[in-house]
């Protein structure tokens, strides 16, 4: 977004900061709520790195008392992406097999955690023992190293995939695609490998497979209620202690540039949260 290359970069000038948690200070004319004094979370898209922000009221979600502001700000994109993808888009059911590619990554790990919470059998695919153990701790039932020469065979030996969550693309996508069950659903979340795979449409036809493109932020422009309903569910789960976002740094607003530098240098291991 800072480089002007993000698909939803606002028009200049704009303030960075997409995920916000705070207290409602005032309402615009004709706005029904939430009333001033209410603690809320909001995915604003921009404007978060400021003392005050102005957002559409229907994008706000009241915070349960048990959820602190730092957790509320940190969970929105990472958990929201996986929850809307798995629940709303892929219709993941208890007992189904979910294969997560890049399972130790930022969104991949939340897909493992939420898939487990939703009652699926979770197959985590990541590179190396250390990353696979992180996925196991998040709730993965089966682990497959991304360097395994027969990922397709490993998935098929577990019965095949009902849902594939793919933020990687490339060879991992191709292997998982070939291990889909009939009527399986494959979620295209991103292409971290840099390799955007081409899909043989005849295979979709023969196996009745659904190929589902998914961009969480896009829902804010045409169906924001999908996102706000999902955030309400996630915040309730956070209040119950069922999910807890990993926050690696908490910095004051005066050190916001330091927080951005941590992201650019990939020096953070979790979310970087800026406080007032």
Residue in the structure block whose two tokens are 């399972």: 103
Residue ranges in the chain whose pLDDT is less than 70: 192-193, 269
Token code pair at residue 195: 């390799």
Model-level pTM? 0.88
Summarised one tens digit per residue, pLDDT across range 222-249 is 898 999 999 999 999 999 999 988 888 9
Q: Helix or strand or coil: residue 173? A: helix
Which residues are 39's β-sheet partners? 23
Can you give the pLDDT at residue 151? 96
Can you give the pLDDT at residue 268? 75
Q: Residue 188: which H helix or E strand, with range?
A: strand 180-188
Can you give the pLDDT at residue 169? 86
Can you give the pLDDT at residue 4? 84
Summarised one tens digit per residue, pLDDT across range 129-148 is 988 998 999 999 999 999 99
Spatial strand order of the sheet with 121-126 comes to 142-145, 121-126, 97-101, 161-166, 180-188, 210-213
Structural domains of the chain sorted by starting position, each given as residue range(s) with its CATH number in brackets: 19-77+218-275 (3.90.180.10), 93-214 (3.40.50.720)
């Amino acid at each position: 977004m800072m480089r002007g290359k993000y698909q939803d970069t606002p028009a200049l000038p704009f303030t960075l900061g997409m995920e916000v948690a705070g207290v409602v200070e005032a309402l615009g004319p004709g706005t029904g709520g939430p009333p001033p004094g209410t603690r809320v979370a909001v995915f604003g898209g921009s404007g978060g790195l400021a003392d005050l922000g102005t957002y559409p009221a229907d994008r706000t979600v009241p915070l349960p008392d048990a959820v602190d502001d730092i957790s509320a700000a940190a969970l929105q994109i990472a958990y929201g992406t996986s929850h809307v993808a798995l629940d709303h888009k892929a219709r993941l059911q208890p007992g189904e097999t979910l294969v997560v590619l890049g399972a130790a990554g930022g969104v991949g790990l939340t897909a493992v955690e939420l898939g487990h919470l939703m009652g699926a059998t979770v197959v985590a695919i990541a590179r190396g023992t250390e990353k696979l153990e992180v996925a196991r701790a998040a709730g993965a039932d089966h682990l497959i190293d991304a360097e395994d020469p027969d990922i397709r065979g490993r998935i098929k030996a577990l019965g095949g995939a009902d849902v594939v969550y793919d933020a990687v693309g490339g060879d991992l996508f191709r292997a998982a695609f070939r291990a889909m069950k009939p009527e399986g659903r494959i979620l295209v979340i991103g292409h971290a490998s840099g390799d955007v795979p081409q899909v043989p449409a005849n295979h979709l036809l023969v196996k009745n497979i659904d190929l589902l493109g998914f961009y969480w932020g896009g829902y804010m422009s045409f169906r924001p209620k999908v996102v706000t309903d999902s955030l309400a569910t996630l915040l309730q789960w956070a209040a119950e202690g069922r999910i807890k976002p990993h926050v690696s740094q908490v910095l004051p607003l005066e050190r916001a540039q330091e927080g951005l530098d941590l992201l650019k240098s990939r020096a953070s291991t979790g979310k970087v949260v800026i406080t007032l």
